[in-house]
Amino acid sequence: MSDRPSEPGGPDAAIHVEVVWLEAPGGSSVTRDGLGEPAYGVVTAPTSAVRRLVLALPSESTLATLLACRAMAVFRAELDSGALAIAVFGRAGRSDMPLYDGDRIELLGPVTADPKLARRRRVERARAAAPSGRWRRS
């Protein structure tokens, strides 16, 4: 093996992808796997830390290849149960989706609030706080 990077499409060509997820603060809702390493679950607390892992995969890898690698084993139970969803740059991922160098793979928890309802409540609070102006109906 040489010291220079492998040629694109060569026998040892690799792509690098970034996996991101949220980790509970202080590890309070984090379980441990059989190897004694933390297994990260997705939490929605605003104090959660965003974690990232950069992996090198063979060229022409798919999401299925990524999910089969050992580094992803800590997430397998949540992915299989549907507690986590997977996305590539914010778009829902499928197991046959090809991965490209520099892709960001996101492990997503369930949506806990309806965005339209949340915005409506923010507007109602703003209207109640401002006696006149933009948020007050005439």
Please determine, for residue 7, whether its predicted confidence score (pLDDT) is greater than 80.
no
pTM above 0.85, yes or no: no
Predicted confidence at residue 47, as pLDDT, reads: 53
Distance, CA of 47 to CA of 10 (rounded, Å): 43
- Compare 133 and 71 and report the one with higher pLDDT: 71
Mean pLDDT in residue range 96-117:
88
Determine the Cα–Cα distance for residues 17 and 92; give it in Å rounded to an integer.
16
Residues 65-90, mean pLDDT to the nearest whole number: 88
69/58 Cα distance (integer angstroms): 11
The mean per-residue pLDDT over the stretch 37-53 comes to: 56
pLDDT band at 58 (very low <50, low <70, confident <90, very high): very high
